[in-house]
A = this chain, B = another copy of it.
Amino acid sequence: MAAMELRRWPRKNDAESIRARQEVVGQRIDDGEVLWDDLASWEKANEALTGVAVIPVSVIGPLLISLGEYELREPAGELAETGRRSDDVYVPLAHTEGGLSASLYRGARAVAESGGFTTYLLEDRITRASCFVCSSAGDALVLARWVEDELEPIRAWLSESDDPSIAKRAKLREVKTHVVGPMCHVLWRWTTGDAVGANMMTRNAYVVNMGYVLEHAPVRIERSILEANMGGDKKPSFEYFQSGHGKTVVAEATLSDDAVRRVLRTTIDDLLELAWAGTHGAVASGMQSVAFTPASAVAAIFAATGQDLGMIGTSSMAHGVGRRVDSGLNVSIRLPGLEVATVGGGTTLPYARSWLALMGCAGGGKVHRFAQIVAAAALALEISASAAMATAGSQNFFRAHHELGGLR
């Protein structure tokens, strides 16, 4: 019976199908708050559209950030910093974690009183990790050398092709191969403008695999797989922790002794002791990231701005570092795999588009700015949460959870 029902479940987004689903849902919930009448804005966003989720958004700001300006050089796509400007940014945070917004505010304030954040974009690449299975490792090695040598011809072929499934904005920049057994893993590395580009590169990689590699390969390929986990698609991996995915960004600040004492209510020594213990704890637990709670900030901005929430885990991979310097405590966070967009996906839908606009990040040409803002916000939270933990017995961390965490 269940199978019968499932088979009949309407998946389209015409008015009748939506109403049919809303009826089923309506019988099982107390009131109809989620079953909005007008869902037209989202009818292309997902299949079997039925209602909405609403998440409260707090706004914190302005964060004072020195943001780098970057361009990709053609044809290889090297990233170049072309300028830098300071800006005041208000950050929207969609979440229900008591204390998070207040903590991020406090961190931002400590930084503001110490001269502000500086952010950098290190890499801009998105990778589709295909795999060609040959009949031997020897053949896979021949294929790997050939693929590496064919990068330029493949680029030319892509740009000249009139295959309508090719996304012209996704540009092939690099290729890396890794042979193990009869598998030739091929990491196609793209830039995709202001979109995350998962969809674009998927289509292009398929076209390259089927239309070029399979057609011209010097060895017999037994099986072609579009993505076979040699990358890190929505699953944290060392490959992307190190070599990057989406945007690799760094945010840093140098906290003054005064700001640490007055705003953060702790000392640089205490922060360094915490960093020391937390880094060794991370090693002992086999934690890849060394950080405090970057996912909290990343998730809150992602949820407000229509990012892909399935990418929160990978986008939150982080390496945080603190070091005493002459003028105080230099702190920074490196987010190697930040998968963000300012166009495409959920970013242009209602609500999301507004929160992006608040940051000056809606639309084309904004993704580098947006990535850096996320990093600055994550660093703000790292600073404050660390400070709370660094107090005696982590008393202030306890207090924050006691006093502000009421809903949990």
Contact = CB atoms under 8 A, between A and B. Distances in A.
Given A25-B90, A138-B118, A57 B53 contact: yes
Interface string A218-246: 00000111111111111111111110000
Contact of A319 (B112, B129, B283): B283
Interface stretch (A38-46, A69-77, A152-160, A365-373): A38-46
A289 B200 CA distance: 25
A92 B235 CA distance: 22
Contacts of A314: 295, 313
Contacts of A199: 98, 401, 405, 408
A29 to B, nearest CB: 4
Contacts of A325: 135-136, 182
Contacts of A28: 90, 357-358, 360
A322 B59 CA distance: 42
Interface string A274-314: 10111111111111111101111011101110101111111
A383 to B, nearest CB: 14
Contacts of A401: 198-199, 202-203
A235 B289 contact: yes
Copies in the complex: 4
Nearest to A59: B50
A54 B279 contact: no
Q: Which range contains the number of A residues in contact with the other chain?
A: 35 or more
A124 B392 CA distance: 30
A83 interface: no
Contact of A53 (B54, B200, B319, B392): B54
A364 interface: no
A114 to B, nearest CB: 9
Nearest to A283: B290
A214 B395 CA distance: 13
A358 B6 contact: no
A94 interface: yes
A85 to B, nearest CB: 13
B47 A242 contact: no
Contact of A351 (B45, B54, B230): B54
Interface in A382-404: 389-390, 392-395, 397-398, 401-402, 404
Contacts of A302: 309
A125 interface: no
B59 A332 contact: no
A21 interface: yes
Interface string A56-67: 111111111000
A350 B33 contact: yes
Interface string A338-380: 0000001110111110110110100000000000000000000
Nearest to A321: B181
Interface in A93-113: 93-102, 105, 108-109, 112-113
Given A105-B9, A279-B280, A321-B182, A56 B64 contact: no
A310 B312 contact: yes
B281 A185 contact: yes
Contacts of A16: none
Contacts of A138: 118, 120, 252
A122 interface: yes
A-B pairs with lowest CB-CB distance, top 8: A313-B313, A238-B286, A181-B321, A96-B346, A229-B281, A226-B394, A42-B56, A199-B408
6 contacts: A34-B351, A97-B310, A235-B293, A279-B279, A282-B283, A284-B319
Given A46-B95, A54-B54, A206-B397, 18 more contacts: A11-B105, A24-B59, A39-B56, A46-B96, A47-B102, A94-B309, A97-B345, A118-B138, A120-B138, A122-B141, A137-B252, A137-B330, A185-B281, A197-B408, A199-B405, A235-B316, A310-B312, A313-B313
